[in-house]
Structure 1
Amino acid sequence: MNGADEVRGLPEWRVLVVGGASGMGKTGVGRAVARRYGVPVVEVDDIVEALLAVTLPEHLPEVHFWRTHPEAARQAPESVVERQIAIAGALAPAVEAVVANHVDTGTPVIVEGDYVLPGLARPGGLVRAVFLHEDDEAQVTANYLRREPEAGPQGPRARVSVLYGRWLAAQARAAGVPVLAPRPWADLADRVVEAVRAPAADSSAPASTGGCP
């Protein structure tokens, strides 16, 4: 699989993971890239809701945590971030199953959400990823206010988002996954597409006889 796929309007990848903390612009850019290629979007929030519907807290305590311990959302931001990391880890097998199904069936999809981790991606492979990170708390607060004006300024939530986003960005960089600043918004979709595009093959190198990466 190579750049010829994109010439035909198909993505090079089979699964594109768009990750990052809340308030970073994942949903908007995920939908924009999905429209570009005519592929669906799977939101990790939907996977969470499905698991909540078919399991009990004793089955998946981490996934049920915010419902069973709503007061925990008012803890120190660092404690909330630790809990988010634990939830992401608990959700990983379910997200991996969705990704594997789309790879096995050859049906392109974009998977986006706060709880998706970068370890699924392989640069240049069938599963690619990009993570968004905004490190300015004031900007994230403004993002929430624009999206949810009825809630008023959400400074503490923005603080949690930035801290969790830093952790995700560090994990992504360690895995060789690109991390992009959401701003400027106008060209974010173009930057995502470019960031996950496989490098052009070296014409001086011998041709590969293997299958798709």
Structure 2
Amino acid sequence: MSGTGEVPGPPGWRVFVVGGASGMGKTGVARALARRYDVPVVEVDDIVEALLAVTLPEHLPEVHYWRTHPEAARRAPESVVERQIAIAEALVPAVEAVVANHVGTDTPVVLEGDYLLPRVVTPGGPVRGVFLHEDDEAQVTANYLRREPEAGPQRHRARVSVLYGRWLAARARKAGVPVVAPRPWEDLADRVGRLGGAAAQPV
């Protein structure tokens, strides 16, 4: 580690996945790693928006779900999580296509988003990554309040995030993908950068 806090040397990956539920700090970490390695960030939200623009609900009903059923976001947290999982599964072919393109063209990128699944990561291979998970609902509520103060405490959203995050974290560990605790925030990017796809372990 250099005195600047940067991870030395070029990355050994072509795609670095930063996954996890909403409110876990993924965007900040992804941007920090992108600056560190001078590579772009691809956000899964952009992939979703592109698919929404070129398809109809009957083509990809899961991807269009939140637009066709806006009231569904207010249902029981467990129900919302089930829908998020279904959307993530539906997006797998699109995500895999983006990953394959960057691996095949040897163009490194940081890939970030709520709908990323651990199966796209190959620990020790060209597609590495981590999943961030904060299990404290009060902390996630505070994260949202700090980011979106005008919305007030978003406790339902925080509950959904923690439940979905647990589901992702369990699958990441099973796949050998590191699961990282966001706190302390100060060295999160360094901790993620050092892992770079190591065997699953709490950090």
The 1-side partners of 2:39 and 2:187 are apart by 20
TM-score of the superposition, structure 2-length normalised? 0.93
Q: 1:151 to 1:198 in 2, by over 3 A?
A: closer
1:12 aligns with 12
**1: CA distance between counterparts of 2:140 and 2:105?**
37
Matches within 5 A, 1:82-121: 82-121=82-121
How far the C-alpha of 1:35 sits from its partner, in A, is 0.5
In the alignment, what sits opposite 1:126?
126
Give the Å deviation of 1:198.
5.8
2:47 corresponding residue in structure 1: 47
1:195 CA drift (Å): 1.4
Larger radius of gyration: 1
Residue aligning to 2:160: 160
Q: Which residue pairs with 1:139 in the alignment? A: 139
**Residue 42 of structure 1: SS of its match in structure 2?**
strand
> Which letter maps to 1:26?
K
What SS class does the counterpart of residue 192 from structure 1 fall into?
helix
Q: Which amino acid aligns with 1:49?
A: E
The structural deviation recorded for 1:10 is 2.1
CA contact 2:177–2:198 (8 Å) conserved in 1? no
User: What are the superposed Cα offsets for residues 109-130 of structure 1, whole Å, 9 maximum, x if unpaired?
Assistant: 0000000001011111000010
What is residue 207 of structure 1 aligned with on the other side? none
Query: What is the root-mean-square deviation of aligned Cα atoms in Å?
Result: 1.2
Q: Distance in 1 between matches of 2:154 and 2:198?
A: 38
Aligned-pair identity (%): 82
SS of 1:49's equivalent in the other structure is helix
CA contact (8 A) 1:13 1:108 kept: yes
Structure 1 residue ranges (4+ consecutive) displaced by more than 3 angstroms after TM superposition: none
Residue 202 of structure 1 is matched in structure 2 by: none
In structure 2, what is the equivalent of residue 30 of structure 1? 30
Segments of 5+ residues of structure 2 without an aligned counterpart are 1-6
CA change 1:177–1:149 in 2 (3 A) is same
Q: Residues 81 and 163 of structure 2 are in contact (CA less than 8 Å); yes or no, is this contact kept in structure 1?
A: yes
TM-score normalised by L of structure 1? 0.88
SS in 1 for 2:16: strand
Q: Which amino acid aligns with 2:63?
A: V
Whole-Å separation in 2 of the counterparts to 1:22 and 1:198 = 23
Assess if the C-alpha contact under 8 Å between 1:12 and 1:197 holds in 2. Answer: no
